[in-house]
Amino acid sequence: LGVRAVLSLPMTLGQWILQQERQHPETADLAPLITATATAGKQIASLVARAGVSNLTGTQGSTNVQGEEQKKLDVLTNEVLKNALRSTGKLGVLASEEEDEPVSLMEEAYAGDFIAAFDPLDGSSNLDAAIATGTIFGVMRSGEQCLTGPDDASINQRQMQCMVQTLQPGANLVAAGYILYSSSVIFMLSIGHGVQGFSLDPAIGEFVLTHPNVRIPTRGKIYSFNEANSDNWDPVLQDYIRSMKKRGYSSRYIGSLVGDVHRTLIYGGVFGYPADKKNPNGKLRLLYECAPMAFLMEQAGGIATTGKQRILDIVPQGVHQREPLICGSSADVQDLLTMYERSV
Per CB under 6 A, residues contacting ligand AFP are 122-126, 226, 255-257, 260, 273, 283-284
Considering the complex, state which of residue 141 and residue 263 has its C-beta at the smaller distance from ligand AFP: 263
E strands of 123-264, at which residues?
A: 133-141, 175-181, 185-190, 196-201, 206-211, 222-224, 250-251
Distance in Å, CB of 226 to ligand AFP, minimum: 4
Helices vs strands, H then E, count in the chain: 9, 15
Nearer to ligand AFP, 158 or 320 (CB): 320
Cβ at position 272, least distance to ligand AFP in Å: 10
Strand residue runs (E) in 125-269: 133-141, 175-181, 185-190, 196-201, 206-211, 222-224, 250-251
37, 138 in Cβ contact below 8 A? no
The least CB distance from residue 227 to ligand AFP, in Å, is 10
Nearer Cβ to ligand AFP, position 105 or 257? 257
| Distance in Å, CB of 249 to ligand AFP, minimum | 19
| 247 vs 215: CA distance, rounded Å | 23
- Among residues 225, 190, 183, which one has the least CA distance to residue 300? 190
Q: Which is nearer to ligand AFP, 232 or 309 (CB)?
A: 232
Q: How far is the CB of 26 from ligand AFP (least distance, A)?
A: 32
Nearer to ligand AFP, 32 or 134 (CB): 134
Distance (Å, whole) CA 241 – CA 17: 41
Rounded least distance, CB 99 to ligand AFP, Å: 15
Nearer to ligand AFP, 161 or 256 (CB): 256
Q: What is the dihedral of CA 224, 228, 234, 237, to 10 degrees?
A: 20
CA 22 to chain centre: 26
Single-letter amino acid code for the residue at 251: S
